A and B are shown apart, each in its own frame.
Chain A
Amino acid sequence: MFQLPLVRRPTAALYVCDFMQINEITYSLSVLLVCMDFMTSLPYWGILVLVVINAIIVSRMDITVEDDNE
């Protein structure tokens, strides 16, 4: 049976996750957010969403800066 060479990728990804303890961190973060009600947790993840949106908007902007008028 033909085997896809991509099979190795998830294994590597799982290894990286394990090395960086991403599962533990993700679990801890989810516990943290679940323990609060929605409105209390909103500012914590809301800030992250906002800064990402801002980064996308700014990276597409055309910005000019004037030379100093000495």
Chain B
Amino acid sequence: MIDYLSQHWFVILLTLVYIFFCLYIGWYFKKKASSGVREYYIAKREIPGWVISLAFFSTSASTNTYIGQAGKAFQYGLSWAWVGLIWAVFCILAWLVLGPRMRNQSAILNSFTVPDYFQLRYKSDLSKAIRMLSAATILFATMFYMIGIAKGCAHVLEAVLDIPYAWGAFLILFITCAYTMWGGMYSVLWTDAVQGIIMFVVAIIMVSLPFIYVGGVEELMTTLATTDHVTKGGESMGNGLVSFGHLVSFMYILGIGLSIGMKQISDPKSLIRFYSIDNAKSMKFAMIWTPIFLGISLICVMGLGALVHGMASQEEAAHLIQNTDEVVGFMLQKMDNQLISGICVAGLFAAGMSSLASVILIVGTAFVKDIWDAWKPQSEQVIIKQTKMTMALYCALVFVVTLFPPAGIVELTAFAGAVYAASFFPAIFGGLYLRWGTDIAALSSMVVGMLGTVIWRFGFRLRIESLKDIHEIIPAFLLSCLVYLIVSRMTKHRIPDSEHLDRLFSV
């Protein structure tokens, strides 16, 4: 025990300081958040732009980015950064196309969640069903996402602090759950902002490690171009790490890039950020700075795994290529520096916690406000209490499944992203921009999007070799958009009354 502490004291100290800080923020906002549903769910729409900007960035980039995506570059080379480019494009689109409109319409409708936006926007006898279906979709897709994040953090703790996988997963899930339960959206956004700053700094530190280890840019790049490491299939990599399309097909990059990038235009944990922003100046700030924070971090992180080849022997590379989620942990182990490991573990924890906190709150609000309360209305204090209870129970369920994770981090989170994008985007975009969008179209596109994602993945992609690189996001998204447009045109009599639409589209 003494040996262990003397070896890891600095990492443990930094991690503990960071954890106590997050818990303190949750505790600090406890009273304010619990005063009403508006406070607990959307922080009373009074959060400044710089906090929202950093919170959006830290929520979008998670353990999936810092561990999963960074590790994938070990297998696919530096061209994996194309995923980052697609991601940055959708971040910009999310803020340009959805941000101001979502903020304005949600304020006009007095909407607190994305599912209740659907009900209030489409305003019909069917809109409650749309709300409940979208809440159920959130509960389904979030499970995969949370497992991916908990798995990534548990791997880092295992590699850096020798904490058993199960304990690592338990710690990340329940510490995050605790401060989210206490402070609701206030603690989620303020901790996210601080986590965003840490993540930004850690991204820059992490990308510099392989260069420092090998001894310079030229040395490392020469090593990568002439590596004798082998691919997952056992063939020599040659100069594949620095050449486009040698180790991975562009279709695969496009599929993963779209499914992760498009989450920003459809995932409730990202969209809900727009709800809490306080004024136009803040909106403008966030629209400019969020892509900058995210873009620079992605430049640093997306090719990181490929650079780690310069630090690994042939045997180590052969192991890592089969287990890409362990690449970042391996890099920190190899550097063997307490200070760097401590800062990076705090950053990786921050990446995981910021995304986990947001989805934990979304799960609680979806189940309680959009299913339970929509079915049987309750008082505000009961809603808050039930939301807290739901969050704790869902985390317990995620913990059990994380012990037997069904796939790698990237695939898990990309699948969740595909479900959101295909199910929600047409109804959101149509709701915000198309006066002639109807409730039946929204419902149909959601059903088609969800079924399309699941059927393509399990019925075609995983069974037919020639289709394995065509990610479910592509056919499912196109199909659901098409269904929304066609059904809206076919059901013109279901368009909400013009007084309601005039009020919505007046801004």
- Chain A residues with CB under 8 Å of chain B are 28, 31-32, 35-40, 42-44, 46-48, 50-51, 54-55, 57-59, 61, 63-70
Contacts and interface: CB of A to CB of B under 8 A. Distances in A.
A66 to B, nearest CB: 4
Given A43-B81, A48-B296, A51-B291, 6 more contacts: A40-B78, A48-B299, A54-B291, A59-B288, A63-B283, A65-B283
Task: Kindly list the 9 A-B residue pairs having the minimum CB-CB distance in the complex, ordered from nearest.
Answer: A39-B244, A43-B85, A35-B221, A43-B81, A28-B217, A47-B295, A66-B104, A65-B280, A66-B107
Contacts of A61: 284, 287
Contact of A64 (B224, B299, B507): B507
Contacts of B78: 36, 40
A50 B280 contact: no
Contacts of A28: 216-217
A54 B296 CA distance: 14
Nearest to B244: A39
A40 B279 contact: no
B303 A69 contact: no
Nearest to A46: B85
B284 A36 contact: no
B88 interface: yes
B245 interface: yes
A28 B277 CA distance: 40
Interface of B: 38, 44-45, 77-79, 81-82, 84-85, 88-89, 92, 95-96, 100, 103-104, 107-110, 216-218, 221-222, 224-225, 242-245, 277-280, 282-284, 287-288, 291-292, 295-296, 298-299, 302-303, 507
Decide if the interface of chain A is mainly helix, strand, loop or mixed. helix
Contacts of A40: 77-79, 81, 242-244
Decide if the interface of chain B is mainly helix, strand, loop or mixed. helix
Contacts, number: 114
A50 B89 contact: yes
B299 A65 contact: no
Given A55-B292, A58-B284, A66-B507, A50 B88 contact: yes
B245 A39 contact: yes
Contact of B280 (A55, A63, A70): A63
Contacts of A64: 100, 104, 280, 507
Which residue among A38, A43, A44, A68 has the maximum number of chain B CB atoms within 10 Å of its CB? A43
Contacts of A46: 85
Contact of A69 (B77, B89, B108, B279): B108
Contacts of A31: 217-218, 221
Contacts of A36: 78, 242-243
A59 B377 CA distance: 44
A37 B242 contact: yes
Given A43-B302, A47-B295, A69 B104 contact: no
Contacts of A68: 44-45, 107
Nearest to A61: B284
Contacts of B243: 36-37, 40
Contacts of B218: 31
Nearest to B292: A51
B288 A35 contact: no
Given A54-B288, A64-B104, A48 B507 contact: no
B218 to A, nearest CB: 5
A65 B104 contact: yes
Contact of A65 (B224, B242, B277): B277
Contact of A50 (B107, B108, B242, B291): B291
Contacts of B299: 44, 47-48
A58 B296 CA distance: 18
Nearest to A33: B221
